Structure 1
Amino acid sequence: MSDCVAIAPELPFRSQIAETLQHASRSMPPADQVAARELLNTFDKQLKPADGSEPSTETKREIVRKVVNTFVETKGALEAAKEGEAESCSLLLQHVIADNFDTKSEEYAKLVKSVAEAVRVGGEAAAEAGRPGKVEIAERILTNSYNFFPAESPLRPAVLQTLITLLGAADDLSALPLTPATLIPALNQWSTSEEEKVAFLTHAAGVYEKAGELSRALDLTVLALERAIDAKTAEHALALALALPNRFDVDDILKVQGARDALSGPADELVDLFTKVDELAAVEKAAAWSKTNAAYVEKLGVAGLDAEEVLRKVRLIALTTLAARSATKEITYADLAGALKVDEADVEAWVIDAIRAGLLQARLSQPQSIVRVISVSSRGTRRFGKDEWQLLEKRLSEWKSAVAEARATIESAEEVAAQGPITNQRRPQQRRQQGQQEQQEEATQA
């Protein structure tokens, strides 16, 4: 989001109030529009005291409060006849509030949040009614409101949170792709406490998670964890990482200093399955863990994650590790079944699952019951120990021999090419050599 510069309208206070109130009245039922006009008449009397003096600051503030209440009652006054009218009037109202209240006061913040919340309510109502045009108006109003405030304003996160909530309800989160790269600079600018920033990140992550965008939810949860280590946040981040279908590590969480220490109990054991336990040995332990902690995983409340998914990922990691360690690049169905603790008849399904997850490339030979490994992704392997070094050394030697053979073949081909086209006629050099040989033979005979 880019900042915007609000152009303060050169209108007297009474005209500003009349513009905003008349706009709000057009979003009211006909009966209530009469009440709005009567309210404006009341404001006129307040603005023109009998003694001819200027209205007091408190009088103006009281009028602004009532106008804000009108916007709240009309759910952001989104029902105006013209789309552009709603946006321009919203900016005018923002100016009126800022012009009559101390922008650092709690009341100013309360009024701004009330208007933003009213727009969100109106936008969600429009989304439920299938009126995308009104939803877009609400989104633009909240975007304009965000840009109305200085970059360091503590009201920016409040308005942005309201906007994210609306986008989530309208199934339109793609319109605001919050990424760490764009969000971190904004977080550093906001003059709010770390606790408030963490609360914002947690709320935003919840909106993305509810919408099924688990990757974005994980990014925001990790940002919250980086700002405040919390066992519950770390546990939820772990669950989000494992819920992502094609993710097989928890590195993002463990990179956060202190996050690993915050995990205990079943969460601690779960991390060990993906970090400490040998990949092949982890299958049996994961099966036992999943059986014991099915209720725990369910309680984490992350869509797509259950005990069976945990076991599935451990098995796929084991399959990938077995493929990476294979010196011949061929694995029998029986060996895979034994490693994964599954029936041999199910091996092909597991290999296909690994291929779809991008963990490896392989070919299945059903007649021979063999899996021929073409390549293995590092996403499914985590350990590089003595066995892996030995395998790498062996494959490098094979590669070196293959390269040497290729070079020899190329050199041989180059020699043949240098001799020119092959014909039945002798070359000049060959004829000279033949002549010299004949002369030597004649001299010997003489």
Structure 2
Amino acid sequence: MAPAMQHVFIDGTFADLAKELGDYLNIGADIQPLLDNNQKDEALKKLVTASTALNSTPEKEFTAAYNLLVYLVLQSPNVNMFLPRICENLSKPITSSPINGPGLALSVLTTIFNLLAPDNEVRFNVFQAILRLVKAGGLFEMLKPQLKKLDSWLEEWEVDEEDQRKLFGQIADVAEDAGEEEQAYQYILKSLRTFDPKDPEEISSTEAQNLSLRALKAALLSNTHYDFHDLTSLPTVQALSDSHPIYSELLEILAEKELEDYNDFRDEHEGFIEKEGLDNSKLHRKMRLLTLASLAASTPSKELEYKRISKALQIPGEDVERWVIDVIRAGLVEGKLSQQKQVFLIHRTTYRVFGEKQWREVATRIDTWKNTLRSVKEVISRERQQAEMQKEREMQEVERKAAGLSGMSAGRRTGGKDMIEMGTD
């Protein structure tokens, strides 16, 4: 939405402006008696009903005419009675301007949205109309910056879970049409989170399961999605184990297993991938990257040999470096290649799942570090003892030499005295 407008300035009394719009819509004679009797809402009903004709008015007159209608409606204490019909009209094609029509209608809807009080429930209806228009006109880029405000809007409008679910689904559809796969996926997840996790019937309902499958397929086919914890943690997706066990098995493989398991799945469920419209080449590539990530995470030495990678990924040795580069680009692992040693030096890895096996690996790694530190400590302790012993020996040597020098000096002094005394006699 555009920056919020607080006022629309139009000169004239309600009766004069309503008569002007009525004449423009060719119903001036019908509403004049109502205006004379100060029956404003009755006059507005006729104006709003006739306003469908505005969709065929010349492009240069469209915005002004609709803004006048909106201004008049906002004067009524029953504004919420009229706005949904106006929004519905604006969601329909603007026949006088097939090219610019969606943009013109969106501008009027945005004006309505911004003029309403933040907690006005009709704002929800206006926003839905905006979504329909954005979808029809391919205008998602205009909506995208405003979506970060959606959560606070829903709270202000006090929208229940069912309506939130529908709204999130609409946004997902709009994003998908615009090629925004990640945005679409995130709003499908938002829809799934509106189901009550404590209600078994709700999370296993047809609607919940269809949405879960949609989210799962989107994640499987995404070129950038490798972490499936966001799905496996959802009760609705967990319920797929009963309603769609093969999909549930496939998710488990992508979430925590390896390429060999995927190949076994393909053999066991021959034709399933193709029948369900999934892309085996994408899934196969993704499983290789995930398998390499798991292999790196389970390597305590942080040096992964090329031959191990080749075997796990079922690829020729000459292709190993290409796959390592791909897994680094995917953000699953950080490290560098050592062509000389024929190893992948691992700096950082991402665990696909963190369970009992991974805790054991961490424990093993900690034990290795402890043993290494213990060995280092022992070496340092020995070196320190040797250094102290050497220092003590050096001190003793210095003291010994000092004592010897002291004795020689005393002897020289005594001998000199005797000679003098002898000379005196």
Give TM class, smaller chain: 0.7 to 0.9
Residue 293 of structure 2 is aligned to residue 320 of structure 1 = yes
- Residue 65 of structure 1 and its aligned partner are, at CA, apart by 3.1
8 Å contact from structure 1 (residues 139, 166) kept in 2: yes
1:238 corresponds to which of 207, 216, 237:
216
SS at match of 1:151: coil
Change beyond 3 A, Cα 1:197–1:255: same
Change beyond 3 A, Cα 1:73–1:437: farther
8 Å contact from structure 1 (residues 323, 329) kept in 2: yes
8 Å contact from structure 1 (residues 363, 373) kept in 2: yes
2:169 corresponds to which of 163, 188, 202:
202
Change beyond 3 A, Cα 1:140–1:56: closer
> Residues 32-47 of structure 1: matches in 2 within 5 Å?
39-40=25-26, 43=28, 45-47=29-31
Task: Supply the distance in 2 between the matched residues of 1:78 and 1:191 (Cα, whole angstroms).
Answer: 37
Query: Deviations for 1:145-168, whole angstroms, at most 9, x for unmatched residues?
Result: 222334344432332233344445
- Give the match for residue 323 of structure 2: 350
Residue 239 of structure 2 is aligned to residue 256 of structure 1 = no
> Residues 239-318 of structure 1: matches in 2 within 5 Å?
239-262=217-240, 264-275=244-255, 278-279=257-258, 282-288=261-267, 292-298=271-277, 306-318=279-291
SS at match of 1:355: helix
Structure 2: gaps of 5 or more residues = 196-202, 389-396, 415-425
- Give the match for residue 125 of structure 1: 99
- Residue 380 of structure 1 and its aligned partner are, at CA, apart by 4.3
- Residue 208 of structure 1 and its aligned partner are, at CA, apart by 0.7
SS at match of 1:328: coil
TM-score by length of 2: 0.74
Change beyond 3 A, Cα 1:183–1:66: closer
Task: Supply the distance in 1 between the matched residues of 2:403 and 2:380 (Cα, whole angstroms).
Answer: 36
- Give the match for residue 426 of structure 1: none
Change beyond 3 A, Cα 1:216–1:322: same
Residue 156 of structure 2 is aligned to residue 189 of structure 1 = yes
Task: Supply the distance in 2 between the matched residues of 1:438 and 1:124 (Cα, whole angstroms).
Answer: 113
- Residue 58 of structure 1 and its aligned partner are, at CA, apart by 7.2
- Residue 115 of structure 1 and its aligned partner are, at CA, apart by 3.6
- Give the match for residue 144 of structure 1: 111
- Residue 73 of structure 1 and its aligned partner are, at CA, apart by 2.6
Residue 356 of structure 2 is aligned to residue 375 of structure 1 = no
SS at match of 2:60: coil
Residue 145 of structure 2 is aligned to residue 177 of structure 1 = yes
- Residue 171 of structure 1 and its aligned partner are, at CA, apart by 4.7
SS at match of 1:227: coil
Residue 44 of structure 2 is aligned to residue 17 of structure 1 = no
8 Å contact from structure 2 (residues 84, 122) kept in 1: no
Query: Deviations for 1:390-409, whole angstroms, at most 9, x for unmatched residues?
Result: 4422452366369759989x
Task: Supply the distance in 2 between the matched residues of 1:315 and 1:286 (Cα, whole angstroms).
Answer: 15
8 Å contact from structure 1 (residues 153, 190) kept in 2: yes
- Residue 216 of structure 1 and its aligned partner are, at CA, apart by 1.5
- Residue 225 of structure 1 and its aligned partner are, at CA, apart by 1.0
Task: Supply the distance in 2 between the matched residues of 1:159 and 1:437 (Cα, whole angstroms).
Answer: 106
8 Å contact from structure 2 (residues 296, 304) kept in 1: yes
Query: Deviations for 1:41-72, whole angstroms, at most 9, x for unmatched residues?
Result: x50x34555x9953755761454135512222
- Give the match for residue 222 of structure 1: 189
8 Å contact from structure 2 (residues 48, 86) kept in 1: no
8 Å contact from structure 1 (residues 6, 91) kept in 2: no
- Residue 388 of structure 1 and its aligned partner are, at CA, apart by 0.8
8 Å contact from structure 1 (residues 290, 310) kept in 2: no
Change beyond 3 A, Cα 1:67–1:345: same
- Residue 251 of structure 1 and its aligned partner are, at CA, apart by 1.9
Task: Supply the distance in 2 between the matched residues of 1:125 and 1:406 (Cα, whole angstroms).
Answer: 80
- Residue 254 of structure 1 and its aligned partner are, at CA, apart by 3.0
- Residue 321 of structure 1 and its aligned partner are, at CA, apart by 1.4
SS at match of 2:113: helix
Residue 54 of structure 2 is aligned to residue 71 of structure 1 = yes
SS at match of 1:270: helix
Change beyond 3 A, Cα 1:307–1:280: closer
- Residue 355 of structure 1 and its aligned partner are, at CA, apart by 0.9
User: Which AA in structure 2 matches 1:233?
Assistant: L
Task: Supply the distance in 2 between the matched residues of 1:351 and 1:58 (Cα, whole angstroms).
Answer: 71
Query: Deviations for 1:25-46, whole angstroms, at most 9, x for unmatched residues?
Result: xxxxxxxxxxx75x55x50x34
8 Å contact from structure 1 (residues 20, 67) kept in 2: no
Change beyond 3 A, Cα 1:163–1:325: same
The percent identity for this pair of structures is 20
- Residue 383 of structure 1 and its aligned partner are, at CA, apart by 4.3
> Residues 388-407 of structure 1: matches in 2 within 5 Å?
388-397=361-370, 400=373
Change beyond 3 A, Cα 1:284–1:185: same
- Residue 202 of structure 1 and its aligned partner are, at CA, apart by 0.5
User: Which AA in structure 1 matches 2:178?
Assistant: A
Change beyond 3 A, Cα 1:142–1:104: closer
- Residue 319 of structure 1 and its aligned partner are, at CA, apart by 0.6
1:54 corresponds to which of 20, 37, 42:
37
Which structure is larger by alpha-carbon Rg, 1 or 2? 2
- Residue 296 of structure 1 and its aligned partner are, at CA, apart by 4.3
Task: Supply the distance in 2 between the matched residues of 1:441 and 1:52 (Cα, whole angstroms).
Answer: 134
User: Which AA in structure 2 matches 1:373?
Assistant: L
Residue 58 of structure 2 is aligned to residue 95 of structure 1 = no
- Give the match for residue 155 of structure 1: 122
Query: Deviations for 1:399-431, whole angstroms, at most 9, x for unmatched residues?
Result: 6369759989xx9xxx9xxxxxxxxxxxxxx99
SS at match of 1:248: coil
SS at match of 2:100: helix
